[in-house]
């Protein structure tokens, strides 16, 4: 009888202790840039609910995604490992063919001095994930939204998530797009009436899950489909933003404004549910993004967003592609309305949540991050360097194969095989004074550069990261459609193409064009399609006097332009300069010499 009395006495204590463990809501927005919410200085997007999170929580000014692209960051969040260690470095989780054993490539396209390594596109099923660990620790687990880490069996259910809505291999919202209905069998989305927005549907499902698990600790991974392509906004919200974009300096897309606000509305749903159910004080909410804002697509003929003053955007490893908002709300545990300069990165979430949930990672778990809990008081936390590997040269975004390390104020890039003799080149930035990465200080501070070079070399070796190699097929004098690259970019593809395709990494690209011998005229005419070129000038010879400049509209629509040469040319080489608004891609076709 005494044993029964003891048992009845201890059961309420155990249940009370179990419930005291904090609930965890992790909100990851797809492609949300560093400046895309009001709390981080958005000039256009209306985000009152995210701003309320910031007012009640702690905002990080130096937070990074593990990669400038989605799938690698998502894998990194789940495992607490760098994307280099995971060998998942590009977003290929939607491909049918499984690659669990990527390799380095020995050769590459002749216009590139470096090779691109292969990438993995699935997490091994035996991976140690934060969701598995929380489930084993007594948490109810749910995943809702974008997964992009493979088809069955590589779906959330295999990695510790019991309740899943969406969560399939699609790179964006499930087909047919942001507005339903969707096939529940292939998309794992609910059967709906009408054409609701996908994030409204998973936002409602998130509230239902919270209500059903209010009496037990839960982990909700709410990974929104917004604000990824295809660019589709609620018509009434697009109409709201359409007259506002004219007065904006940087953020010019009404569709993006609508998509950001839809995301914000659903953040509000979740936050309201936590308060209504009395769960707010015992719930930690993490809000962030999987990479920087998109600056290479062109809905409405303009950038979807703009990461100014950061350099570049999604798919490029400069700050604009990898720095993201990060807000942590945990009433009573996290300083409300505070900011911290602590450097944080996505692979820190795993050790942070292990500490928050009072769990221990298994001894065999390899974790590259650190717990951010010491920063929750609002003070800057000392931490080891962070790193991001993106060893791929990318046509659309102008990324040149690189890896970087950030240690305090310093950020060092290693660009693979980018030098004149295919040697590695390095760039060093002081982010405290140069957040736009405009001034390379590698020669001014050689001791800092050498220290960070050594750290990178050791880290790449220890993590067995796949690297670009020196491309034996590289031809610096490659001619494509009559053009040879002189500086500022690389020709994509081979010599047999009739049209020119190039990726640019500099503000100015110089090309040398050799016309046919019988060509004569006063203008170089061509069709141009670009997401970055804003101007063109041309002249005769390698060191010419240039003709009048011509404006280029970088809206990814083909346009025929005539660039004056300054004088009549007859079979002579022509130098063409293209001015670039940002890194990206450009295509030239139907090139010829004409006279007016």
CA distance 24 to 210: 10
- DSSP letters, 304-333, are S---TTSS--TTS-SHHHHB--EEEE-TTT
DSSP-assigned letter for residue 158:
G
- CB neighbour list of residue 223: distance below 8 Å, 6 or more residues apart: 26, 27, 28, 30, 74, 143, 144, 145, 146, 147, 290
Per domain, the residue ranges of the chain are 22-332+368-388, 479-594
- CB neighbour list of residue 157: distance below 8 Å, 6 or more residues apart: 164, 167
Phi, psi of 102 (to 5 degrees): -65, 160
CA distance 15 to 19: 6
- CB neighbour list of residue 139: distance below 8 Å, 6 or more residues apart: 21, 24, 217, 218, 219, 357
CATH class of the 479-594 domain in this structure: mainly beta
CA distance 483 to 498: 10
Coil, helix or strand for 85? helix
CA distance 112 to 63: 32
DSSP-assigned letter for residue 377:
T
Parallel, antiparallel, or unpaired for β 140-145 and 218-223?
parallel
Q: Are the CB atoms for 27 and 270 separated by under 8 Å?
A: yes
Long-range contacts for 476-484 (Cβ within 8 Å, ≥24 apart)? 476/113, 478/110, 478/111, 479/514, 480/111, 481/588, 481/589, 481/591, 482/513, 482/514, 482/515, 482/591, 483/511, 483/512, 483/513, 483/576, 483/588, 483/591, 484/511, 484/512, 484/513, 484/514
Instruction: Cite the beta strand spans of 154-198 per DSSP E.
Output: 163-166
CA distance 486 to 542: 10
For residue 173, CA distances in Å to 50, 164, 178, 180, 530 come to 22, 15, 6, 10, 26
Residue 556 zone, left/alpha/beta (φ > 0; ψ -120 to 50; rest): left
Q: How many CA atoms lie within 13 A of 175 on its CB side?
A: 6
Phi, psi of 72 (to 5 degrees): -60, -45
CA distance 68 to 81: 15
Burial class from Cβ neighbours inside 10 Å (0-12, 13-18, 19+) for residue 445 reads middle
- CB neighbour list of residue 405: distance below 8 Å, 6 or more residues apart: 385, 386, 387, 411, 412, 452, 455, 456, 459
Q: Are the CB atoms for 184 and 168 separated by under 8 Å?
A: no
Question: 3-state SS of the chain: helix, strand, coil percent to 5?
Answer: 25, 25, 50
CA distance 217 to 24: 8
Overall size of the chain counted in residues: 596
Q: Are the CB atoms for 320 and 313 separated by under 8 Å?
A: yes
Coil, helix or strand for 562? strand
CA distance 591 to 285: 55
For 352, other C-beta atoms within 10 Å of its C-beta total 24
Q: Are the CB atoms for 286 and 27 separated by under 8 Å?
A: yes
Burial class from Cβ neighbours inside 10 Å (0-12, 13-18, 19+) for residue 394 reads buried
CA distance 376 to 340: 8
The continuous run of DSSP H or E covering 340 comes out as: strand 338-345
CA distance 34 to 313: 10
CA distance 180 to 582: 35
Residues of the chain with pLDDT under 70: 1-19
Q: pTM to 2 decimals?
A: 0.95
Q: Are the CB atoms for 578 and 586 separated by under 8 Å?
A: yes
DSSP-assigned letter for residue 174:
S
Coil, helix or strand for 503? strand
pLDDT value of residue 19:
54
Q: Could you tell me which of 64, 137, 85 has the C-alpha nearest to residue 367?
A: 85
The CATH number given to 22-332+368-388 is: 3.40.720.10
pLDDT value of residue 497:
82
pLDDT value of residue 13:
39
Torsion of CA 154, 159, 163, 166, to 10 degrees: -30
């Amino acid at each position: 009888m005494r044993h029964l009395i003891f048992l009845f006495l201890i059961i309420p204590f155990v249940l009370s202790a179990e419930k005291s463990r904090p609930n965890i809501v992790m909100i990851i927005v797809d492609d949300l840039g560093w400046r895309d919410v009001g709390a981080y200085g958005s000039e256009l997007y209306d985000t009152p609910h995210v701003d309320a999170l910031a007012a009640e929580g702690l905002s990080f000014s130096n937070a990074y995604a593990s990669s400038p692209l989605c799938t690698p960051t998502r894998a990194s969040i789940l495992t607490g490992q760098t994307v280099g260690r995971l060998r998942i470095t590009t977003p290929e989780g939607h491909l049918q063919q499984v690659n669990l054993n990527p390799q380095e490539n020995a050769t590459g396209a002749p216009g590139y001095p470096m090779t691109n390594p292969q990438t993995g596109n699935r997490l091994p099923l035996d991976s140690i994930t934060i969701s598995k660990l929380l489930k084993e620790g007594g948490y109810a687990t749910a995943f809702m939204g974008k997964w992009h880490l493979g088809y069955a069996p590589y779906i959330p259910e295999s990695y510790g998530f019991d309740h899943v809505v969406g969560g399939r291999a699609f790179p964006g919202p499930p087909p047919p797009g942001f507005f339903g209905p969707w096939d529940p069998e292939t998309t794992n989305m609910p059967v709906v009436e009408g054409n609701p927005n996908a994030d409204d549907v998973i936002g409602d499902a998130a509230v239902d899950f919270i209500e059903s698990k209010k009496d037990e600790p839960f982990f909700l991974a709410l990974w929104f489909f917004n604000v990824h392509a295809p660019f589709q906004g609620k018509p009434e919200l697009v109409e709201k933003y359409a007259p506002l974009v004219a007065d904006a300096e940087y953020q010019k897309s009404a569709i993006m404004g609508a998509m950001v606000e839809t995301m914000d509305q659903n953040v509000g749903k979740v936050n309201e549910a936590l308060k209504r159910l009395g769960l707010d004080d015992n719930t930690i909410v993490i809000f962030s993004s999987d990479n920087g804002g998109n600056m290479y697509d062109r809905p409405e003929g303009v950038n979807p967003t703009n990461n100014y003053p950061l350099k570049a955007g999604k798919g490029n490893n400069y700050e604009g592609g990898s720095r993201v908002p990060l807000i942590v709300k945990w009433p009573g545990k996290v300083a409300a309305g505070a900011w911290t300069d602590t450097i944080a990165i996505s692979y820190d979430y795993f050790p942070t949540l292990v500490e928050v949930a009072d769990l221990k990672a298994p001894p065999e778990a390899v974790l590259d991050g650190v717990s951010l809990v010491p920063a929750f008081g609002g003070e800057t936390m000392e931490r080891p360097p962070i790193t991001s590997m993106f060893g791929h040269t990318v046509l659309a975004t102008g990324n040149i194969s690189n890896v970087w390390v950030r240690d305090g104020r310093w950020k060092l890039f290693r660009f693979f095989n980018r030098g004149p003799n295919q040697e590695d080149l390095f760039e060093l930035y002081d982010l405290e004074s140069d957040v736009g990465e405009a001034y390379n200080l590698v020669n001014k501070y050689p001791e800092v550069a050498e220290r960070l070079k050594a750290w990178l070399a050791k880290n790449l070796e220890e993590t067995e990261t796949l690297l670009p190699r020196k491309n034996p097929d590289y031809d610096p004098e490659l001619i494509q459609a009559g053009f040879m690259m002189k500086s500022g970019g690389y020709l994509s593809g081979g010599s047999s193409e009739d049209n020119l395709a190039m990726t640019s990494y500099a503000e100015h690209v110089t090309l040398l064009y050799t016309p046919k011998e019988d060509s004569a005229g006063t203008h170089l005419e061509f069709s141009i399609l670009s997401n970055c070129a804003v101007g063109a000038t041309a002249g005769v010879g390698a060191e010419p006097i240039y003709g009048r400049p011509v404006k280029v509209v970088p809206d990814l629509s083909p346009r025929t332009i005539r660039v004056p040469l300054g004088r009549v040319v007859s079979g002579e080489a022509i130098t063409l300069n293209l001015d670039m608004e940002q890194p990206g891609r450009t295509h030239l076709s139907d090139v010829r010499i004409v006279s007016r």
